[in-house]
Amino acid sequence: MGPLPLPDKPSIAVLPFANLSGDPEQEYFADGMVEEIITALSRIRWLFVIARNSSFTYKGQPVDVKQVGRELGVRYVLEGSVRKAGGRVRITAQLIDAATGAHLWADRFDGLLEDVFDLQDKVAASVAGVIEPALQAAEAGRSADRPTDDLTAYDLHLRAYAMFYSSGNEIPEAIRLLEQAIERDPRYGPALGLAAQCRLRLVTSGWSEDPEADNRKGAEFARRALQAAGDDPAVLASSAVVLAAFGEDIDTMMVVIDRALTLNPSFARGWFQSARIRLMAGQPDLAIEHAETSLRLGPRARVGFPFSVIGAAHFVSRRYAEAVPNLLLAIQDNPSFPPPYQALAACYAHMGRLEEAQDVVRRLRAITPAVMPSNPQLRNPEHRELLLSGLRLAMGEDA
């Protein structure tokens, strides 16, 4: 039988993990770990995952990942090992490009064995959460091979995506590229969703030359993205956070973000966007919980945005001492993003640390002309006034 054709989306097989415990009776644990990882990866809708009964045909055999790729018709192979010793377990995993044999990603997970099933769930969620961006990066580098109705639109989106996550200065250029992509394919959900996020970023950061126009265009892009989203959790999540920020019904947007997370519970960026919406809705403790979930699922991602939400959530809860270190971490990781500066200046002001508050305002003015946010996004009136009154104090104005 010849090699199976590759599916029309990224595809992966998870091979049985090697049992390095020195105890053959521990095979069940290694097999259960792989079962949980396969289940978790199967929840990612854009990913084609080989079922356990196929990948386990390689159990106990020396394998050539290129041969596995040909025989199972997959682009990627995940392999690993499990070692149990006393009350601890170590799981290693590595992602391989089956076409080339190149190693794309590897990591190690350690934990206690107090509860085997909880540990399996934790490892599976962590592997799925870390592997997803690795797979996206690998697919991004292979855009010419990716099946799509319009490869040019897809390539424009990839270029804009990199700009959006690298530097705020490139947002206008990213918008230009995305509008070209949308012109080519008016129902291209990821491009519409990212264009909406770019407009929101301009307004939130105080870089917009016409906030009212960017608000209107951003909301329009988000509504169109939502119509085109189908079951794409990334598009659902980006649309929800933009529409929530631009004043749409917050309860409806929480339903949309919950649907995205149901479709892909290992979607780290979706958990962060959910945290933002919860903060806007006046649910700071839930915002912290969701931001921390995002950090657990994407431990290699930029931490500035989640820590910004965590810090702001502590601030609006008047837990100032807990807010400060989180906001400082957010600024350190992403020094060009204004919201954590605004929350930190207000926080210091309410703590009576006015010199530090004024210093933060000076640093803020170096990256944006808008110290006072034009759209604080906080729906709870007390939360909004706490931020604005703190900023007024920090700027030397009457509170």
Q: Please name each of the domains of the chain with its CATH number.
A: 11-144 (3.40.50.10610), 148-259 (1.25.40.10), 266-399 (1.25.40.10)
Q: What is the value of pTM for the model shown?
A: 0.69
pLDDT of residue 129: 67
Tokens of 107: 């990591």
Task: Provide the pLDDT confidence category of residue 148 given band limits of 50, 70 and 90.
Answer: very low
Least confident of 6-15, 118-127, 241-250: 118-127
Contacts of 152-155 with C-beta under 8 Å, sequence gap 24+, read 152/181, 152/184, 153/180, 153/181, 153/182, 153/184, 153/185, 153/188, 153/191, 154/181
Task: Provide the pLDDT confidence category of residue 389 given band limits of 50, 70 and 90.
Answer: very high
Asked whether the predicted pLDDT for residue 379 surpasses 90, the reply is yes
What is the full DSSP assignment across 146-200? S--S-HHHHHHHHHHHHHHTT-GGGHHHHHHHHHHHHHH-TT-HHHHHHHHHHHH
Query: Which residue has better confidence, 229 or 134?
Result: 229
pLDDT digits over 259-318, tens only? Answer: 999 888 778 788 999 999 999 999 999 999 999 988 877 654 667 889 999 999 999 999
**Residue pair 12/42 in contact by the 8 Å Cβ criterion:** no
Asked whether the predicted pLDDT for residue 398 surpasses 70, the reply is no
pLDDT of residue 143: 44
Residue type present at position 183: E
Rg value, the chain, Cα: 23
SS3 for 41?
helix
SS3 for 344?
helix
pLDDT digits over 26-78, tens only? Answer: 777 788 778 778 877 877 767 788 877 788 889 888 889 999 999 888 888 99
Asked whether the predicted pLDDT for residue 145 surpasses 50, the reply is no
pLDDT of residue 350: 97
